[in-house]
Amino acid sequence: MAGEVAGVGSNRSKQDRLVVVRASGTLVEHRAIMRMQPPPTCPRRRRRVTNPYRKYSDSGLLQTLASAVRGQRAATVKVVAIIAEVDRRKLFLRPGFSSMFEYCVRKLGLSEQSAYLRITAARKSRRYPVILEMLADGRLHLAHIGRLSKWLRPENSDELLHAASGKTRAELLQLLAERFPQQDARTVVREVAGGVATPVSPREGRRLHSGAAGRRRR
């Protein structure tokens, strides 16, 4: 049957067009799906990732680095202070977590070591607020507070924190060995639930070491 075909509805999408067929003086509308091949796509050129600081001058780069480190310290202090308050209110219980440590690891995505150090600093800062100031200006690091936490007492906190200020890891360990020779002698480390490393007594350390040696022999 001869007929006249006209494309109608130019405002429609290319995939769905209305086709009008004229037959025997009557317009009959037929909807036809126009299957059109998508135009060939050109492969995307990979954008080169360049270091934006390569064009900085020497002095400008050093200033930017110092500013970034200060910003990182400020962010760390902020996180520690917030953790201290969340821990004090026990808000980690609301989502169903059993501890602040579990909340930091499971909910916030912190590594176990990062969570342990920040929680330790947060709890100590509630008793010794000067810790936040020393973290902010770089006199103390989170790792320093983790090592000092066992020995901090109200009667020695000011003097011990001042003595630990600006120390490297080796210097801090030497300081603790001199201040607490009997307690710190032959201290070993073990893993406990949650992957947090905690110090144990020398006696327990010898027992753990001998037990491990016995298991290896068997």
The span from the first CA to the last CA of the chain, in angstroms, equals: 94
**Average pLDDT over all residues of the chain:** 77
Domain total in the chain: 1
Most confident of the ranges 15-29, 48-62, 179-193: 48-62
Cβ atoms < 10 Å from Cβ of 1: 5
The reported pLDDT for the residue numbered 46 is 73
Residue 211, domain member (yes or no): no
Residue 85, domain member (yes or no): yes
Residue 143, domain member (yes or no): yes
Contact (Cβ atoms closer than 8 angstroms) between residue 128 and residue 122: no
Enclosing domain of residue 170? 69-179
Residue 142, domain member (yes or no): yes
Q: Stretch 162-167: mean pLDDT, rounded?
A: 96
Residue 192, domain member (yes or no): no
> Between residues 209 and 164, which one has the greater pLDDT?
164
Residue 93, domain member (yes or no): yes
129 phi, psi to nearest 5 deg: -60, -20
Instruction: Report residue 63 as tokens.
Output: 């200033």
> Between residues 27 and 102, which one has the greater pLDDT?
102
pTM: 0.62
Query: pLDDT tens across 43-101, in order?
Result: 677 777 788 898 999 999 999 999 999 999 999 999 999 999 999 999 999 999 999 99
Residue 172, domain member (yes or no): yes
C-alpha closest to that of 164 among 130, 115, 120, 190: 130
Residue 197, domain member (yes or no): no
Confidence of residue 39 (pLDDT cuts 50, 70, 90): low
